[in-house]
Structure 1
Amino acid sequence: MYISKLTISNYRTFREFSIDLKPLTLIIGENNIGKSNLLDCIGLIFSQEVSYYKRRMLELADFNYDTIVALKKKILDDSIQPELIEYPKIVIQATVKDWNPDQGAVVADWYSNETFTEATLTYVFAPVNQFDKNQHIIEQRNFISNYRKNYGHDEFKKISEENVLGLIDFPIGKYAYRIYGGNAVEATVNPYFLNQLKFELLDALRDAGTELVASHQNKLLFRILNAKEDNAYQDLKGQLIYLQEAIKNNSTLTEIKNGISDQLDKISLATDQTTNIVDLLFSTPEVSDLLKKISLIYGTNPIKIERNGTGRNNLLFISLILSYIEDINHSNAVYFRVVGLEEPESHLHPNLQDHLAHNIELLIKTQDPIDPKKKVNRKDIQLLITSHSTHITTKVDFENTVVLYEDDDKKLVAHYVLSGFDDKAKSRKQVRYLNKYLDATNTNIFYSRKTILVEGISEKLLMPIFFKKITGLTTEKASCCIVNVNGLAFANFLEIMKNGFFQRCLVLTDSDSKTQTLQRPLDLKTRYESKLIQVQISSETTFEKDLIESNKSGEGRQILLDALVSIRPTVGKTYRDKLGAGNIEVEAFFGLIEAYKSEFAYALMLGLEENDHGFTVPEYINKGILFLIDDKKN
């Protein structure tokens, strides 16, 4: 079984949002886009932790900000009748499918389609039935009216809309939550069955060190050790008999006992009913008390967890929880677990990140009962990973990778990287290319809001300089990623954009591209150009010739000559001296750098970093960058 779909309304960053999920899903995207919020939504339904029980009673800050603003504006508008104003609800619905017979017995009351192949669980946070919304609206409007009179109409007009809206009270105290199954909106789900489905979260801010010591019942290690039946540790209690005997025979303890008895003789009466003899009783602890004294050590030279580095403890922490989840035979086994793993890369160096990502899919795999040589997804575990690591991103199958991002309308959407690719030979070839070429650098397209695709290393080196010269911003500040397609494989990347990853994208290509038909510049424009994708073609046959043509005279001329001399001192000086004060001749200059394109680009980059005054960016590049940053289109 697994959660196949999650729909969210009005919760934090999600106004109206829907995402399809898989047994293993890697969720990526820029910071603050909503990855953690998505996992929290699942926890509000499935988690059995005390912290989530408390969290189910939401706060005002848990509502989508735009939703609250829209409500307050309606309340502020006296022309809208109270009966026409609806107070927002937070609704989170999880659809599950593909269950085994045991799981089917759990979800039987939650079927949501006519074929009984899907079941849903829905969390709703809404006003209680007794809440009189009309009365609340009238009270808020009366308050604003009286405030306006007391403050003065003219002065009130000077108050910003944001501050005025802040005067309106949101009745969060009149809200309550419930969880229901299937289409029975009015019925609350049976807690017994809900408890058979659990959510485990390894959050990004986990304190691995403290969780690896079983000193408290809420610590991870204790919960894992305590998951076994008590009789599994019965032999430990048996060993304590020897400790009791050792206590009785210890000379120091005997001396202490005798000393106490002697003092009692001096200060108390002796009667037939009492004696002043004392003893020491060793209270045999319960198994749970014994478990709290256990902590993990790790390594060939084991040291206390507290002394480990954060990276080692983080890896150990992940291994600990996943071993617990993998064990389908522990006594607290449930029918289904969703595991949310936030930022597994925390404190791990790149090689460890690569190794972890390579093996992470094995956590949800098991042997196929029909064909032992094959691995199939386990029915009892679903793994959801969020990450900012390009190392993790490139190692997990792109079939399982979904990007969260805001589209041009500022709507939060989810897009699977390979969505839209079919099973035809051409698509399979493109997918193989992307799996190979979307390395730790190029996967930055999924963490950026704008992308520039260039043909080679020369453009890659110089484009950040040109971008800053035109916009005044660094590419990082503008959330713009520059990807070198290493030749002419634009179409492979543009298929991702075309199929639904609606980020603004600029293609910069030479006009003399000797490529397959679909990759020729004009064909790229015809096939891929849209409101969000622009293909800009060099006026000259190559990028370098456009640079030379745009700067063959003026101050840019000297910058080009300096770069030439730095990479070809003898030939460059001869050419410069022969040229004198004349304009650079494009073909002659290009002939001198044709075999040194990357070296020339690097030298030019260094020169422009020191002084770009008077240097002219080629027009096709200038137009493309202005397209990327056009706020009217953003």
Structure 2
Amino acid sequence: MYISNLKIKNYRNFKDFNIKLKPLTLIVGENNIGKSNLLNSLGLIFSQDISIYKKRNLEVSDFNYDVILQYKRDIIDNEKPLEEITFPVIEISATLVDWDEDQESVISDWYVNEELTEAELTYRYAPVSSFDRLAELATQREFINKFKIDIGEEKFSELPEKEILDLINFPISKYYYSIIGGNQNDTQANMYHLNQLKFELLDALRDAKLELSASHRGNLLFRVLNAKEENEYQDLKKQLVGLHNSIKENEAIQGIKEGISTQLDKISLTTEDFTNNINLIFSLPNVEDILKKLSLIYGENPLKIEHNGTGRNNLLFMSLILSYIEDPSSMESNYFRVVGIEEPESHLHANLQNHLAQNIELLIKEEGSNTYRKDIQLILVSHSNHITTKIDFDNTVVLYKNDNTLSTHYVLDGFSNNAEDRKRIKYLRKYLDAENINLFYSRKIILVEGISEKLLLPTFFKIETSNTIEKSSCCVVNINGLAFKNFLDIVKNGYHTKCLVLTDSDINTRAEDRAENLADLYSDIDQISVHITNESTFEKDIIASNKDGLGKDILLKVLKQVRPISGKQYGEGLGENEIDIEDYFDLIENFKSDFAYQLMIELEENNSGFTVPDYIKSGILFLNGSQSNDE
């Protein structure tokens, strides 16, 4: 069984959100896009076992900001009838599919379709039925209107909207949660059945050092150890039986007892039925006390947990919880478990990240099989390029903003099973490496043909916008050739983020129609804009844009650095004349990377008078929303 679909309404940054999930799902995207909130929303539906309990009674800050804002604006709008004002409600619905016979006994009351192939659980946070909503709205509106009279309409009109809205109380104390099974709003899920479905969360701020010691009941190691039946630890207590006699015979302890008795004789009375003799009693510890004395150590020269590196402790932490989850015998009464792991890469170097990602899928597969287990679903949230490139792209979904709406896109959605698309998928799996995968962590993408463009585009972008390309959440992807379609089809198939293609025109070559054909192919996709050099190549456009003036001086200086002898001779022979595009290009044709690198360094020091080629300027305008893809 697994959660195939998750709907989130009005929870934190999710206003009306829907995402498909798989038995193994990797969720990627830029910071603050909502990945952690998505995992937390699952915790509101499913009971939890060894992870931190997420209380289901929420706070005002858990509501989507926009819906709270609209609620308050409706109250101060005297033209809006109170009966038409709705109180925000948080709803989170999880659709369950593909269960086995044992799991069906748990979810059979929650069916939502006639075929009985889907079940649904919904967390709902709404006002209690006894709450007088109209009275609350009338009170809040009356308060605002009275405040307006008290300070005067003129002064009231000068107040910032936020200050007025802050005066309105949101009745969070009148809200309560319910967990609904099926699609009947009044059918509460049976708590016994609900408790058979667990959610474990390894959050990004986990304290591995603390959790790897069993000294407290709340620590992870204690809860894992304590999950076993007590009788499985009974043999440990046998080892303590002889300790009682040893304590009685210990000379140091006997001396302490006698010293206490002597002092007690001095300060208390002795009667016929009471003496001042004292003794020490040893009580055999219970199993829980024994477990609290345990902690993990690791390595050939084992160190205490507090002396381990953070990365090693993080690996131990994940191994501890995953070994517990992976073992079906430890699950006993639990029929299904969702495991959310935030940033599995925390404190791990690149090689360990690669190794972890390559093997983590084995945790939820049947032993010796490629079939996913039905008792576990794994949801990963990561910012790591290494993790992202090692998990199968079939299971990788991107969270991104599309016109201020939170959207999702599985990397391989839209690709078919025909020979051409299979070839493209193979290409993407090879070339979406740890660097190029950045396109899924950015809001804008620039695709370029080679290393020269890759080196210079960030500098050109800064010249034109005064911002760095990173600050603009833009990435440059070097596709190492002309295979633009493989990347552009990701955008075309639904990853609606702005994508600029910068490509050579290849005028007077056999491929001179290629660039125009590419532009025509994607001309109806608003998110894609193909910009083509005026000259035949990227370098020639740079030369053409800087043939004279200060731009000429910069190019001649760079040429001398790339070709010290030939460059100097060319500059001296040129005199006051303009640079000849072909002559200059002949000198750098076999040194394109060196030329790009030296030009980049020079422009970072001084770009005064340098002109960025027009096709790149217009491309940057497209990315920044100042130009359509038709221009």
TM-score bracket for this pair, using the shorter chain length: over 0.9
Secondary structure, counterpart of 1:482 in structure 2? strand
| 1:13-38 Cα deviation digits (max 9, x unpaired) | 10000000011111111111000000
Rate the CA distance shift 1:280–1:203 in 2: closer, same or farther, 3 A. same
C-alpha contact 1:514 1:520 (8 A) present in aligned 2: no
Q: Match of 1:579?
A: 574
Aligned to 2:82: 82
**3-state DSSP class of the match of 1:10?**
strand
Deviations 1:428-454 (A, max 9, x none): 111111111111111111111000000
Shift of 1:481: 0.4
Q: Which residue of 2 aligns with 1:168?
A: 168
Taking only aligned residues, the RMSD between alpha carbons, in angstroms, comes to 2.0
Query: Is 1:510 the equivalent of 2:504?
Result: yes
Contact 1:420–1:499, Cα closer than 8 Å, also in 2: yes
Which residue of structure 2 lines up, in the alignment, with residue 458 of structure 1?
A: 452
Instruction: State the Cα distance separating 1:170 from its structure 2 match.
Output: 1.4
CA distance in 2, matches of 1:515, 1:179: 66
- Distance in 1, matches of 2:313 and 2:389, equals 24
Separation of aligned partners in 2, 1:236 and 1:54: 35
Q: 1:103 to 1:165 in 2, by over 3 A?
A: same
| Residue of structure 1 equivalent to 2:491 | 497
The residue type paired with residue 378 of structure 1 is R
Q: Report the secondary structure of 1:431's partner residue.
A: helix
Correspondence for 2:553: 558
Per mean C-alpha deviation after superposition, the further-off stretch among 529-538 and 20-29 is: 529-538
SS in 2 for 1:432: helix
2-side partners of 1:584 and 1:632: how far apart? 31
Query: Retained in 2: the 8 A contact 1:489–1:519?
Result: no
Deviation at 1:248, TM superposition (A): 2.0
Q: Give the superposition deviation at 1:304.
A: 1.0
2:212 and 2:626 mapped to 1: Cα distance?
Answer: 50
Aligned pairs for 1:188-267 within 5 A: 188-264=188-264
* Residue identity opposite 1:485 in structure 2: I
State the 1:215 CA deviation. 0.9
Q: Which residue of 2 aligns with 1:543?
A: 538
Structure 1 unmatched runs, 5+: 368-372
Pick which of 328-337 and 586-595 moved more: 328-337
- CA shift digits 1:53-112 (9 cap, x unpaired): 662111110010111111212222111211112111100000111111111101011111
Residue identity matched to 2:540: K
**Which aligned pairs between 1:208-357 and structure 2 lie closer than 5 A?**
208-264=208-264, 273-330=273-330, 332-357=332-357
Task: Identify the residue that residue 413 of structure 1 maps to in structure 2.
Answer: 407
Matching residue of 1:483: 477
1:163 Cα deviation from its structure 2 partner: 1.9
Q: Work out the CA distance in 1 between the residues paired with 2:133 and 2:489.
A: 49
Deviations 1:442-488 (A, max 9, x none): 11111110000000000011101110111111001100000001011
Do structure 1's residue 6 and structure 2's residue 1 form an aligned pair? no
The answer to whether the 8 A contact 1:2-1:22 is kept is: yes
In structure 2, which of residues 619, 624, 628 is the aligned counterpart of residue 629 of structure 1? Answer: 624
Q: Which residue matches 2:107?
A: 107
Instruction: Report the Cα offset of residue 252 of structure 1.
Output: 1.4
Q: 2:387 aligned with 1:397, yes or no?
A: no
Q: Residues of 2 paired with 1:489 and 1:215: CA distance?
A: 57
| Structure 2 match to 1:16 | 16
Q: CA deviation at 1:257?
A: 2.5
Find the counterpart in structure 1 of residue 136 from structure 2. Answer: 136
Please tell me whether the aligned partners of residues 27 and 386 of structure 1 are also in contact (alpha carbons under 8 angstroms): yes
Query: Aligned partners of 1:50 and 1:350: how far apart in 2?
Result: 29
Show the counterpart of 1:525.
519
CA 1:265–1:77: 2 relative to 1, 3 Å: closer
Distance in 1 between residues matched to 2:510 and 2:200, nearest whole Å? 50
- Report the Cα offset of residue 129 of structure 1: 1.1
CA distance in 2, matches of 1:296, 1:346: 19
Task: Give the conservation status (yes or no) of the 8 Å contact 2:25–2:397.
Answer: yes
The answer as to 2:615 corresponding to 1:620 is yes
Q: Separation in 1 of the partners of 2:281 and 2:210?
A: 32
In the alignment, residue 468 of structure 2 is paired with which amino acid? T
TM-score where L is the length of structure 2: 0.96
Structure 2 CA distance, aligned partners of 1:197 and 1:616?
62
Q: Offset at 1:560?
A: 0.7
Deviation of 1:374 after TM superposition, in Å, equals: 3.0
CA distance in 1, matches of 2:72, 2:555: 60
AA of the residue aligned to 2:477: V
Matches of residues 173-192 of structure 1 in structure 2 within 5 Å?
A: 173-192=173-192
Which stretch shows the higher mean deviation, 158-167 or 495-504? 158-167
- Give the AA of the match of 1:357: A
Q: 1:72 aligns to what?
A: 72
Q: Report the 3-state secondary structure (helix = DSSP H, G, I; strand = E; otherwise coil) of the residue aligned with 1:129.
A: coil
Q: What is the rounded CA distance, in whole Å, between the counterparts of 1:514 and 1:429 in structure 2?
A: 30
Summarize the alignment of residues 363-378 of structure 1 with structure 2, pairs less than 5 Å apart.
363-367=363-367, 374-378=369-373
Measure how far apart 1:275 and its partner are: 4.7
Q: Following TM superposition, by how much is the alpha carbon of 1:125 offset from its aligned partner in structure 2, in angstroms?
A: 0.4
Secondary structure of 1:505's match? Answer: strand
Give CA-to-partner distance per residue, 1:229-253, whole Å, 9 cap, x none.
Answer: 1111101111110222221221211
In 2, Cα distance between the equivalents of 1:325 and 1:30?
29
Q: Distance in 2 between matches of 1:414 and 1:308?
A: 39
Letter in 2 for 1:524: L
Stretch of structure 1 that moved more, 50-59 or 178-187: 50-59
Residue-pair matches, total: 628
Partner of 1:370: none
Q: What CA distance in whole angstroms lies between the structure 1 residues aligned with 2:500 and 2:331?
A: 56
Contact 1:4–1:97 (CA under 8 A) maintained in structure 2: yes
Judged with a 3 Å threshold, the aligned counterparts in structure 2 of structure 1 residues 246 and 614 are, in CA distance, closer, same or farther, namely same
Q: How far off its partner does 1:520 sit?
A: 2.1
Deviations 1:547-603 (A, max 9, x none): 111111111011111111101101111111111110011111111110000110111
Task: Please state how far the C-alpha of 1:632 moved relative to its aligned partner.
Answer: 8.4
Do structure 1's residue 93 and structure 2's residue 93 form an aligned pair? yes
- Output the CA distance in 2 between the equivalents of 1:118 and 1:263: 76
Percent of aligned pairs with the same residue?
Answer: 59
CA pair 161-259 structure 1, distance change in 2 beyond 3 A: closer
- The structure-2 alpha-carbon separation of the partners of 1:38 and 1:271, relative to structure 1 and needing over 3 Å to count, comes to same
Q: Which segment is superposed worse, 523-532 or 233-242? A: 523-532
How far the C-alpha of 1:166 sits from its partner, in A, is: 1.8
Question: Counterpart of 1:279 in 2: which secondary structure?
Answer: coil
Range 419-428 or range 332-341, more displaced: 332-341
Task: Kindly state the Cα deviation for residue 144 of structure 1 after the two structures are TM-superposed.
Answer: 1.4
CA separation of 1:381 and 1:392: change in aligned 2, threshold 3 A? same
Is this contact kept in 1: 2:50–2:220, CA < 8 A?
no
Provide the rounded CA distance (Å) in 2 between the counterparts of 1:6 and 1:394.
Answer: 25
1:379 aligns with 2:374: yes
SS at match of 1:112: coil
Deviations along 1:114-157, whole A, 9 cap, x unmatched? 11111100000011112222222222221111111111111111
Q: Which moved more, 1:520-529 or 1:556-565?
A: 520-529
Equivalent residues of 2:51, 2:201 under 8 A apart: no
1:444 aligned to which of 429, 435, 438: 438
Check if 1:41 corresponds to 2:36.
Answer: no
Q: 1:279: Cα distance to partner?
A: 2.6
CA offset digits 1:184-216 (Å, max 9, x no partner): 210211111101000010000111000000011
Name the stretch that deviates more: 279-288 or 493-502. Answer: 279-288
Mapped to 2, the partners of 1:429 and 1:391 lie a distance apart of 23
